[in-house]
Structure 1
Amino acid sequence: MGLFDGVHAAGPVAALAGDAAWLRAMVDFEHALALACADVGLISAAEADAVLAATVTDVDDVGERAAAIGNPAGPLVRALTEQAGDAVHRGATSQDVLDTAMVLVAAQSLDALLGSLAAAADRVAELASAHAETVQVGRTLSQYAPPVTFGLVAAGWLTGLDAAADRLAGARSRLALQFGGAVGTLSSLGTQGLAVREALARRLGLPEPVLPWHTERTRVAELAGALALTAGAVGSVAQEIVRLCGSDIGELREDGPPGSGGSTAMPHKHNPVAAICASACARRVPGLASTVYASMAHEHQRSAGAWHAEWPAVQDLLVATGSAVHWLSTSLSRLVVDADRMRANLTAAGGTVFAERVTVALADKLGMTAARAAVTECAAADDFTEALTAHLDKAAIADLLDPAGYVGNAPEFVRRALAAHGGRTSNDT
């Protein structure tokens, strides 16, 4: 494990997208290609069996030898050929191996990531349902604002996570076989090129695209975009959890195992460490996605350098996003909501958080411009409530400053978010 892997390579995706997984996927491609060639009679069953018996597992050795040819497919093919003979790599080019390996790695990584994301969303749905009417002070531009409910806050998290899952599923469905040979024509396979391609797609369990996509990289960019969107949704939730766990707010806390959330210098601290790690991992993703977008422009039939740049970027995108989702799910599983502190913070915020409501009420008799000026003047006074008695009786003021009466459609919005999430879950099953 690397020095930072405990934070930045956490959860199941890290292993599924690691170097060993990529090498395994490259070997799987070569094995499936041999079987496909045997399926159409290009090689014998014995030759295919020999290829299947050959393998390469030394990541360090392949990585070191990759420098000679500019990609790891070259040393892999040489090593397999030394073991199994010339039946290896029929009709393929290095990019076919690397692109299909990337697809295989991405597919299994996305499956795990989608599972973790669904668990996180289900937990958020529980929070939204349980706290649909738990009143909380609203905050806009870091300033106090009219009240909301914590259920509405969680519902906003939920719709973001569900949207991210939809984008990931869409990117997952676009992953496809790459097999076109040197220039995307499969010319070295003669009349059997398309038959081998069809058999190879079937062997790998991948869709067969309309044509090879050596220089048409929308699939890769779509994957990067879906991962970046997911990281953004996760990072937003994590950042809000961190802020609401702060000492000055204290409306949430992570109740983790002993020793979690401590400080090397301040023994009194209890940091929301899982949310902090989720935020850290999510922040790495946009820069990685930009590398993929910058690599979309390919020249001629196969590019020099553009597809090479994608390998570590896509790998890191999968690991960073997977880690962010893992940490968010961990944070949500530990999360404790302090409804009493939410109410206390709302009370401590003072009646000015209802200034909008009071202004609307006063506008009926003063007009909106005069009402706004009057409430602005009252808000600047030492006692907002007392200042309002110049314009309203105390019963009316008490009614206007009742938090439960000014959360608008928050409960209905929560209901709609939960219904949409439930619909997605039932459709998935």
Structure 2
Amino acid sequence: MTGLFDGVLDRGPVGPLTDDTAWLRSLLDAEAALAQALAEVGLITVEQAGAIATACAAEHYDPVALGAAAAGGGNPVIPLVKELTARVGEDDPEAARHVHRGATSQDIMDTAAMLVVRRAGRALHTDLTLLSADLADLAHRHRTTPMPGRTLLQQALPTTFGAVAAGWAQGLTGAARRLDEVLTHHLAAQFGGAVGTLASLDPHGPDVVAAYAARLGLPEPLLPWHTERGRVAEIASALGRVCGSAGNVAQDVVLLAQTEVGEVTEEGGAGVGGSSTMPHKRNPVAAVSVLANARQAPGLVATLLSAQIQEHQRAAGSWHAEWLPLTDLLRRAGSAVSWLRTGVERLRVHPERMRANLELTGGLALSERLTTDLIPELGRMEAHRRVTEACRVSVTEDRDLVDTVTAHLEGLRTSEQVRALLDPAAYLGAAPVFTDRVTGRTGPDGTGRPGRTDSEEGNP
């Protein structure tokens, strides 16, 4: 079933990998792997393990009913094990005695969480990789498209839309790289029994853990991590970074798409981006939806980080507090990235509007270039004084900046030279070169150092 808000808040491939059925499947995968590990070590027969694994089919169980029954013991594993044991017992009573052997509920829940994170995280990583490539293509197409650079929401110096898009791409590439590191190195199976000693399986406990982890394709931990929640914190931080990077792009798009700015628009076709009351509206729906998802991430991350503080060998509430925030954070990250891919597909760039906005200041935004050009002859202080005074007179007396500067320079530059210095397209600095570094392509002049990585830039 889909919910009222799912069209906006549960988009893309991650949602189905984190729903109740996905969690149930992961819980049952953990139980089946445990039975098979017990057989591998020789504690039960292969036939008994097979009987348990056969009963671990998600279609046999109702997640809603299990959720309701979880109130009795504080987690859904307890009623699931009861039903699983009963189902196994119908065909093999002896095998039923070994269901969940040696485990505690948290072992199965934590392991299931790692499976959910791995499956959903890999789908998210694929989406992130494709998105980064799309943004790199966008950056390359606009490597020399001049636009206003803005600081504190005010026009500053010119930049290029290519450099802006390259910054977007680099942020998402870094988030994807970190997510991959977490999925590869920070997940692990969980199996420790009541207090993390596996005393009920002694002396076979460590061997069962190794077999169990191998069956699941998860790393084997050095020891149980029931109350050491660093793994969950790493996952939360990586997903939070994904949401932040996606939201950063969306925030820029929303601002650039404002009527008064108009440098980009989202064009999704008929019926997309309309208003319930204003027929003329064409809202950047994809970017807005990215923000709706991404802005929920900080609270979810904070909850998961605060849940790290846990008591003794098994926590009273903090572990339970992780389940929904972790699920929601995966969904919000997946939905934000999916929406952003859609937004990039819909994005239309308007270079002519960028150029028009650059002209709004009448050249004032290029005053730095004038000053820099004059330093060899006048020195920095005198150059800055003359240009500042010329800008003041131009603004207060509503005079043409070129004429005013030329007059204040007293023959040092002709009006044609001043006009050339105030051309924003000629003051882009290294923006194209930096764009090429991200896109992995060089421009017509062969500049750029393509393909640099985070580690080459000194980032962790």
Q: Hey, what does 1:398 align to over in structure 2?
A: 419
* Aligned counterpart for 2:265 among listed residues 249, 253, 258: 253
* Distance (Å, rounded) in 2 between the aligned partners of 1:354 and 1:421: 29
Does the 8 A contact of 1:121 with 1:158 survive in 2?
yes
Provide the residue aligned with 1:9 in structure 2: 10
Letter in 2 for 1:385: V
Helix, strand or coil for the counterpart of 2:155? strand
Distance verdict in 2 for CA 1:367–1:125, change over 3 Å: same
Q: CA deviation at 1:201?
A: 1.0
Say which of 79, 86, 92 aligns to 1:82: 86
1:397 alignment partner AA = V
AA aligned opposite 1:92: A
The separation in 2 between residues aligned to 1:14 and 1:377, in whole angstroms, is 59
Distance between the aligned counterparts of 1:375 and 1:100, measured in 2?
A: 66
Q: CA deviation at 1:208?
A: 0.7
Residue type of the alignment partner of 2:254: V
CA contact (8 A) 2:438 2:452 kept: no
Tell me if the contact between 1:224 and 1:317 (Cα under 8 Å) persists in the aligned partners.
yes
For this pair of structures, how many residues does the alignment match? 424
Amino acid at match of 1:398: R
Of 48, 58, 73 in structure 2, the residue corresponding to residue 69 of structure 1 is 73
Give the Cα separation in 2 of the matches to 1:386 and 1:143. 25
Distance 1:202 1:257 in 2: 49
Taking the aligned partners of 2:336 and 2:387, their CA distance within structure 1 comes to: 44
Deviation at 1:302, TM superposition (A): 1.2
Q: Is the 8 A contact 1:20 1:57 kept in 2?
A: no
Q: How does 1:172-251 map to 2 (within 5 A)?
A: 172-173=183-184, 174-251=186-263
> Judging changes above 3 Å, is the alpha-carbon distance between structure 1 residues 267 and 360 closer, same or farther for their aligned structure 2 residues?
same
Structure 1 match to 2:456:
none
Correspondent of 1:345 among 347, 350, 357 = 357
Matched AA of 2:415: K
CA deviations over 1:13-53 (Å, ceiling 9, x no partner): 01101122111100111111111111222112232222123
Q: Which residue of 2 aligns with 1:106?
A: 117
- Matched position secondary structure for 1:306: coil
SS of residue paired to 1:336: strand
Is the contact between residue 251 and residue 337 of structure 1 (CA under 8 Å) also seen in structure 2?
A: yes
Which residue does 1:139 correspond to in 2? Answer: 150
Pick one of 162, 172, 180 that aligns with 1:151: 162
Aligned 1:283-362 pairs, distance under 5 A: 283-362=295-374
C-alpha offsets along residues 81-130 of structure 1, whole Å, 9 cap, x if unaligned?
Answer: 11112221011101101100000000001100001111110110001111
Structure 2: any 5+ residue segments left out of the alignment?
Answer: 89-95, 441-448, 454-460
Q: Which amino acid aligns with 2:328?
A: D
Task: Please say if residues 436 and 450 of structure 2, whose CA atoms lie closer than 8 Å, have aligned partners that are also in contact.
Answer: no
1:407-426 alignment to 2 at 5 Å?
407-419=428-440, 422=451
SS at match of 2:150: strand
1:279 & 1:224 partners in 2: Cα distance? 18
Q: What is the aligned partner in structure 2 of residue 389 from structure 1?
A: 406
How many Å apart are 1:73 and its aligned residue?
0.9
Partner SS, residue 250 of structure 1: coil
Q: How far apart, CA to CA, are the structure 2 residues paired with 1:372 and 1:72?
A: 70
Higher relative contact order structure (alpha carbons within 8 Å, sequence separation ≥ 6) = 1
The amino acid that maps onto 2:404 is A
Q: Report if aligned partners of 1:128, 1:152 keep a CA contact under 8 Å in 2.
A: yes
Distance 2:405 2:319 in 1: 67
In the aligned structure 1, how far is the partner of 2:373 from the partner of 2:367?
Answer: 10
Paired residues of 2:172 and 2:246 also in contact (CA < 8 A):
yes
Output one character per residue of 1:197-242: Cα deviation in whole Å (capped at 9) or x when no partner.
Answer: 1111111111111111111111110000000011111100011111
In 2, are the aligned partners of 1:239 and 1:275 still within 8 Å (CA)? yes
Amino acid of the structure 2 residue aligned with 1:186:
L
Give the deviation of 1:345 after TM superposition: 1.7
Give the Å deviation of 1:422: 5.0
Task: Say yes or no: does 1:169 pair with 2:186.
Answer: no
**How far apart, in 1, do the equivalents of 2:276 and 2:428 lie?**
42
Q: How many angstroms does 1:378 deviate by?
A: 2.3
**Do structure 1's residue 128 and structure 2's residue 115 form an aligned pair?**
no
The answer as to whether partners of 1:24 and 1:57 remain within 8 angstroms in 2 is no
Check the 8 A contact 2:107/2:190 in 1, yes or no. Answer: yes
Q: 2: CA distance between counterparts of 1:386 and 1:95?
A: 76
Greater Cα shift, 246-255 or 110-119: 246-255
TM-score norm. by structure 2 comes to 0.89
- Whole-Å separation in 1 of the counterparts to 2:210 and 2:315: 25
Tell me how far apart the structure 2 counterparts of residues 242 and 23 of structure 1 sit (CA, whole Å): 39
Whether the aligned pair in 1 keeps the contact of 2:143 and 2:161 (CA below 8 Å) is: yes
Distance 2:331 2:7 in 1: 12
Helix, strand or coil at the partner of 1:138? strand
- SS, match of residue 146 in structure 1: strand
TM-score (norm 1): 0.96
Of residues 219-228 and 389-398 in structure 1, the stretch that sits farther from structure 2 once superposed is 389-398
% identical equivalent positions: 50
Measured after TM superposition, the shift of residue 386 of structure 1 is: 2.2
The CA distance in 2 between the partners of 1:343 and 1:118, in whole Å, is 32
Paired with 1:376 and 1:264, the residues of 2 have a C-alpha distance of 49
In angstroms, what is the RMSD of aligned CA positions?
Answer: 1.5
Paired residue type of 2:80: L
Which residue in the other structure is 1:25 paired with?
Answer: 26
Please list the CA deviations of residues 300-353 of structure 1 after superposition, one character each: whole Å capped at 9, or x if unmatched: 111111111111110011000110000011101111111222122212332001
Instruction: Name the stretch that deviates more: 384-393 or 139-148.
Output: 384-393
1:95 aligns to 2:110 (yes or no): no
Letter in 1 for 2:68: E
Contact preservation (8 Å) 2:437, 2:452: no
C-alpha separation between the residues in 1 aligned to 2:404 and 2:450?
Answer: 46
